[in-house]
Amino acid sequence: MSRGFLKMNGLGNDFVVVQGADDFKPTPEQVRAWASREGGVGFDQLIAISNDGQASPLVRFWNNDGEQVGACGNGSRAVGWLLMQATGKAQAAFHTAERPLLATNAGDNRVSVDMGEPRLRWDEIPLAEDMDTRNIELQIGPIDNPRLHTPGAVSMGNPHVVFFVGETPDDAAVTGDGSLIEHHPLFPQAVNVGFAHILSNNKIRLRVWERGAGLTKACGTGACAALVAAHRRGLTGRSATVVVDGGELLIEWREDDNHVIMTGPVAVEFAGTLP
């Protein structure tokens, strides 16, 4: 059975979105074949929107390595935009296996998504052992002069560590250190790795090595995690522009309800059929 899809992106982080996907159960091999940029459609994440009998649609995500994951921030904006286009309303509710989400039209092909509360306990992220998630006990490099150390840890429905660095790392550094840390024994479910350069109280330059996807142009949950981790360390306020390779996201960690709000653009590239 052929499957129609929309190819979309959020700041260059690209996805294939399949709608009406109640019986859509791709194998890891299929996802990897479709994700290939040589012979496949080419994408960072695959997204399926279906109705699981609840009041709001169910959204599922797969990284391009074929693994199903709990969250994708940029993909959530794309889903919200599609649902609002379908209903003509200014808001759209949906849910993942991890949490309910609410998208709001922010104008000019921009969408805000309420990503819910960050999870900050060591066993919620999860880590392999109990430690303070503001500054976890992890370092990379020589023991007396590590090049990376004591990152913050946050879950936004998927696990993140955020290292604070003095300058923005190049591709080789992100790839080398990110791929090393992704499968560190401290992270039983592997981890997304952020490298955050604090530019000011309300601006962060961020690069992310995504678990199961590698170096991408943007990572929405990574941007949320970076702001939360930075504010917990007293490095920024509760709101900041996060500059990623593909552009800018506005992230706010609200004080009243503890929810993280992510705002950024959405673009549709083309429609097609999965081979």
Residue with tokens 């090049």: 147
Report CA 37 to chain centroid distance, whole Å.
21
For the record, the structure tokens of 198 come out as 């604090």
Please indicate whether residue 224 is annotated as part of the active site. no
Q: Where are the alpha helices (DSSP H) in 108-236?
A: 171-182, 220-232
Catalytic residue among 11, 82, 204, 219: 219
**Which residues is 256 bridged to in the sheet?**
none
Report CA 257 to chain centroid distance, whole Å.
21
Q: Where are the alpha helices (DSSP H) in 159-254?
A: 171-182, 220-232
Please indicate whether residue 72 is annotated as part of the active site. yes
Whether 119 and 225 have beta carbons less than 8 Å apart is answered as no
Catalytic residue among 11, 47, 72, 226: 72
Answer positive or negative: Cα dihedral of 40, 41, 44, 48: negative
Other C-beta atoms within 10 Å of 174: how many?
A: 20
Residue 76: CA atoms inside 13 Å, Cβ hemisphere, count?
Answer: 32
Of 266, 267, 236, the closest CA to residue 251 belongs to: 236
The residues that are catalytic are 72, 219
